[in-house]
Amino acid sequence: MVERHFLYILLLLCAAPLAAHAEDTLPAGPSAFVLIARLHALPGEAENVVALSSAVDEKVEAGEPGMLLHTFDANPNDSLGFVWTEVYENSEALVLHLNNADLTAYLEAVSPLLDVFTVELYGAVSPDAVARLRETGTPVVHYPNVLGYVRDLTP
C-alpha cells in the first residue's frame, strides 16, 4: 500500500510540470520560429528561379547570422513549385532579413518569374516583425504559438 501511494505521488510530481508546460506560450520576439515561403514559377522559368534562389542563399548565409536554417526545396508533385524553409533565431533576425538589400534585389528579380508567392509564419513572432513582413505586400498567414518550447542548442 505504501509503495502504491509513493508511486502515485511520484506520478503527480512528474506530471505536474508537463501539464504546466503544455499551457505555456513562448514569448513573442525573442523566440525562434519558422517561416515557409511557397513559390510557383511560370512555365519555362523554374531554372531561372533556382539560379536566383541559389545566389541569394549564399548571400543570406554570409550576412545573416540569425538565419539558423535556410533551405530551398522542390515540390515533388509540381516541377514549378518550390518552398523556402527558414528558421529564425528571433524576430529581430526576420527584420534584418527584410532589410537585407540582397533579399530586396532577389525579390525584384524573381517576382516576375512567379505566379504564386505566399508566406506562412509559425511561432511566437513579434507583432512588429509580422507587420513589417505584411508591409512588403506578400500574402502572409501567421500561425501564433499556443504552446511548446524551443530547445537551447548553445554548446
**Helix, coil or strand: residue 66:** coil
Q: Which residues pair with 33 in a beta bridge?
A: 88
Residue 153 forms part of a structural domain: no
In this structure, are residues 121 and 143 in contact, taking their beta carbons and an 8 Å threshold? Answer: yes
- Span 61-112, pLDDT tens digits: 999 999 999 999 999 999 999 999 999 999 999 999 999 999 999 999 999 9
Residue 1 forms part of a structural domain: no
Three cell numbers written together for 71 = 533551405
- d(CA 32, CA 144) in angstroms, rounded, equals 12
- d(CA 104, CA 97) in angstroms, rounded, equals 9
Residue 95 forms part of a structural domain: yes
Residue 150 forms part of a structural domain: no
In this structure, are residues 17 and 97 in contact, taking their beta carbons and an 8 Å threshold? Answer: no
> pTM here?
0.81
- Span 136-150, pLDDT tens digits: 999 999 999 999 888
Residue 19 forms part of a structural domain: no
**Domain with 65 in it:** 33-143
State the total domains in the chain: 1
- Can you say whether the dihedral through the CA atoms of 64, 127, 139, 104 is positive or negative? negative
E strands, 76-148, are: 81-88, 114-122, 140-143
CATH of the domain at 63: 3.30.70.100
